[in-house]
């Protein structure tokens, strides 16, 4: 691209002030960018008009906020009678990002081009409006206006549900009548891997070749000393902070998750069930507000591990009859399996109704919510819990479940609900029976995985019979105990 500044000076008799005013009136502000910002600018401007979502993953101190504000100002000058929107995680944060950068950029602008309104969140630039917003407020105040471009800052700090609601109900529809309008994301990745920005927005941008990454190594404005200080402040190159903030990697930030000890590489596997097992089930019943999650698990006595091998998930307000029907179907799919306990966090009346429906449950211990979380955390720290790879909802919740801001409750999100799968696992891990299912004659630990060499007749017989799970309970449960199951 030709040097705008050089050409403007030549056309204005080498008068810097006249050259600047001429470029401002043409809406040409690339000359105000730093060298490392210009490739980002050029990449965005070169995208075809049909690309409506652009993701720029940009390292800290790269100048992405300066770039976004400058491009928003330029859009106001290039498009007549339009609204250009800059969004941040919160309105307050967005104002703090935009105000100082806008003040710096407009120093060379003709005064008549830019007017401040009574609102600190709105500027008149040329014939268009520059509006500042946040995901924490309802952006429907922009409805009725023709929004041309939306610049979205620091998605890393946005709450998943606020982000989703704003994208689907406000920001997306706002571009309906724009002429080649775009949403341009300038951010580092969010702290949780299942944030909708990652699984939806980034995925779409990548598919459209509209995903660009600029790391600290692309920032040629940094000296080696400045680079080294960035590494030092984060605690080293291998830390989550450095990898996310400066290398733009998608990494799970354990400081914001409920069960930071969970590691999918360590705790998620495909496994066979033990030869002998006591099978149990735990249900966190969501009712009309939250999801209902049922987990099927057993205890590997020889390996000292809780094995979670199946799950069922139901949206809020699912009828009791549907839930019990689907759970019975899950149980029946394991032919020959006998459930020793079916733990369920349910209200008292529902417990009675389930009993009458021949779906008896036992209430789990719910004392000390925080202690139950800590207990589950220790279980993963000690590698005593293994989750089957098919339990995808549980895995997602363990990876991304967060506390609320006060850390007094789980954070609710549309994707994983009220961390209902974690709640179910908390109860299951606390109540998991660790009785010996092998009886008095205990095989050695090494003999657990020794397989019987079957005859041809045995192989043929098994091929035509449904798969069964062997069980050998030492103690049957008495039918007169409320909610317990008689050994089948």
Instruction: Find the radius of gyration of the CA atoms of the chain.
Output: 30
452 pLDDT higher than 70: no
**Fold of the domain spanning 264-431:** Nucleotidyltransferase; domain 5 (3.30.420)
Query: What pLDDT score was predicted for residue 193?
Result: 77
Quick one: tokens of 36? 């490392």
Q: How confident is the model at residue 487 (pLDDT cuts 50, 70, 90)?
A: very low
Residue 436, Cα to own-chain centre: how many angstroms?
A: 39
Query: What pLDDT score was predicted for residue 295?
Result: 97
Query: What pLDDT score was predicted for residue 72?
Result: 94
Strand 147-153 to 114-116 pairing: unpaired
464 pLDDT higher than 90: no
Least confident of 54-63, 192-201, 364-373: 192-201
Tokens 């706002």 found at: 174
Give domain limits for the chain.
Answer: 33-245, 264-431
Q: Given phi > 0 = left and psi -120 to 50 = alpha, else beta, which region is 125?
A: beta
* Helix extents (H) in 290-400: 320-332, 348-356, 369-381, 392-400
Alpha carbons 364 and 359: distance in angstroms, whole number: 16
Q: How confident is the model at residue 136 (pLDDT cuts 50, 70, 90)?
A: confident
Domain 33-245 CATH class label = alpha beta
pLDDT exceeding 90 applies to what percent of the chain? 38
Query: What pLDDT score was predicted for residue 232?
Result: 92
454 pLDDT higher than 70: no
Alpha carbons 187 and 64: distance in angstroms, whole number: 8
pLDDT (tens digit, 9 = 90+) per residue, 307-332?
Answer: 999 999 999 999 999 999 999 999 99
For the ranges 45-59, 249-263, 280-294, the one whose mean pLDDT is highest: 280-294
pLDDT (tens digit, 9 = 90+) per residue, 210-226?
Answer: 889 999 999 888 889 99
Q: How confident is the model at residue 162 (pLDDT cuts 50, 70, 90)?
A: confident
CB 421 within 8 A of CB 295: yes
13 pLDDT higher than 80: no
458 pLDDT higher than 90: no
- Order the strands of the 339-345 sheet from edge to edge: 268-269, 385-388, 305-314, 292-300, 279-284, 339-345
145 pLDDT higher than 80: no
Contacts 24+ apart (CB under 8 A), 19-26: 20/108, 20/109, 21/108, 21/109, 21/110, 24/77, 24/108, 24/109, 24/110, 24/113, 25/77, 25/110, 25/113, 26/77
Average pLDDT over residues 2-24: 71
Q: Given phi > 0 = left and psi -120 to 50 = alpha, else beta, which region is 282?
A: beta
CB neighbours (10 Å) of residue 338? Answer: 17
Alpha carbons 148 and 292: distance in angstroms, whole number: 42
Query: What pLDDT score was predicted for residue 477?
Result: 31
Alpha-carbon separation of residue 105 from 34, 60, 102, 352 (angstroms): 12, 20, 5, 69
Q: How confident is the model at residue 348 (pLDDT cuts 50, 70, 90)?
A: confident
486 pLDDT higher than 60: no
408 pLDDT higher than 50: yes
Please provide the size of the chain in residues.
Answer: 488
250 pLDDT higher than 90: no
CB 295 within 8 A of CB 307: no
Alpha carbons 340 and 129: distance in angstroms, whole number: 66
Q: How confident is the model at residue 144 (pLDDT cuts 50, 70, 90)?
A: low
Q: Which tops the pLDDT comparison, 5 or 304? A: 304
CB 269 within 8 A of CB 409: no
370 pLDDT higher than 60: yes
Q: How confident is the model at residue 369 (pLDDT cuts 50, 70, 90)?
A: very high
Alpha carbons 34 and 31: distance in angstroms, whole number: 8
The alpha carbon dihedral of 436, 437, 440, 443 has a sign of: negative
pLDDT (tens digit, 9 = 90+) per residue, 373-397?
Answer: 999 999 999 999 999 999 999 998 9
Strand 83-88 to 128-134 pairing: parallel
Quick one: tokens of 186? 């300038």
CA-nearest of 194, 137, 132 to 166 is 137
468 pLDDT higher than 70: no
CB 27 within 8 A of CB 110: no
List beta partners, residue 387. 268, 308
CB 331 within 8 A of CB 364: no
Alpha carbons 412 and 426: distance in angstroms, whole number: 17
Query: What pLDDT score was predicted for residue 52?
Result: 87
Q: Which tops the pLDDT comparison, 406 or 3? A: 406
Q: What are the backbone dihedrals phi and psi of residue 190, each rounded to the nearest 5 degrees, phi first?
A: -60, 165
Query: What pLDDT score was predicted for residue 116?
Result: 84
470 pLDDT higher than 60: no
pLDDT (tens digit, 9 = 90+) per residue, 68-97?
Answer: 999 999 999 999 888 999 988 888 888 888
Q: How confident is the model at residue 275 (pLDDT cuts 50, 70, 90)?
A: confident
Average pLDDT over residues 104-116: 89
């Amino acid at each position: 691209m030709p040097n705008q500044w050089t050409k403007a000076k030549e056309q204005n008799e080498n008068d810097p002030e006249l050259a600047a005013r001429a470029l401002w009136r043409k809406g040409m502000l690339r000359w105000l960018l730093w060298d490392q910002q210009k490739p980002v600018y050029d990449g965005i401007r070169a995208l075809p008009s049909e690309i409506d979502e652009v993701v720029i993953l940009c390292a800290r101190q790269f100048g992405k906020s300066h770039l976004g504000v400058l491009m928003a100002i330029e859009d106001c000058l290039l498009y007549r009678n339009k609204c250009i929107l800059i969004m941040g995680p919160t309105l307050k944060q967005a104002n703090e990002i935009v105000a100082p950068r806008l003040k710096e950029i407009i120093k060379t602008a003709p005064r008549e081009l830019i007017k401040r309104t009574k609102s600190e969140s709105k500027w008149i630039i040329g014939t268009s409006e520059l509006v500042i917003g946040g995901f924490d407020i309802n952006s429907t105040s922009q409805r009725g206006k023709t929004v041309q471009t939306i610049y979205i800052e620091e998605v890393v700090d946005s709450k998943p549900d606020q982000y989703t609601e704003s994208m689907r109900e406000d920001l997306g529809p706002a571009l309906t009548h724009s002429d080649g309008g775009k949403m341009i994301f300038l951010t580092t990745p969010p702290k949780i891997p299942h944030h909708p920005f990652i699984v939806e927005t980034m995925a779409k941008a990548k598919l459209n070749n509209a995903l660009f990454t600029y790391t600290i190594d692309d920032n040629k404005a940094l000296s080696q000393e400045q680079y080294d200080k960035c590494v030092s402040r984060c605690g080293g190159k291998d830390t989550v902070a450095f990898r996310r903030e400066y290398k733009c990697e998608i990494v799970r930030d354990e400081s914001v998750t409920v069960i930071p000890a969970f590691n999918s590489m360590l705790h998620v596997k495909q496994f066979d069930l033990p030869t002998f097992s006591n099978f149990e089930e735990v249900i966190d019943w969501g009712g009309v507000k939250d999801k209902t999650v049922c987990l099927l698990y057993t205890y590997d006595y020889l390996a000292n591990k809780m094995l979670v091998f199946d799950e069922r998930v139901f949206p809020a307000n699912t009828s009791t009859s549907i839930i019990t029907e689907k759970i019975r179907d899950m149980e029946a799919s394991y032919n020959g399996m006998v459930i020793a306990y079916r733990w369920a966090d349910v209200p008292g009346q529902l417990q009675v109704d389930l009993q009458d429906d021949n779906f008896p449950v036992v209430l789990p211990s719910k004392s000390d919510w925080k202690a139950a979380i800590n207990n589950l955390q220790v279980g993963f720290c000690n590698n005593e819990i293994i989750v089957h790879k098919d339990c995808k909802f549980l895995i997602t919740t363990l990876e991304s479940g967060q506390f609320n801001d006060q850390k007094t409750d789980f954070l609710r999100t549309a994707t994983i609900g009220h961390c209902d799968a974690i709640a179910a696992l908390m109860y299951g891990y606390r109540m998991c029976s660790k009785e010996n299912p092998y009886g008095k004659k205990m095989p050695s630990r090494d003999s657990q995985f020794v397989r019987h060499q079957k005859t041809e007749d045995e192989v043929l017989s098994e091929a035509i019979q449904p798969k069964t799970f062997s069980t050998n309970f030492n103690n049957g449960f008495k039918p007169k105990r409320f909610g317990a199951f008689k050994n089948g």
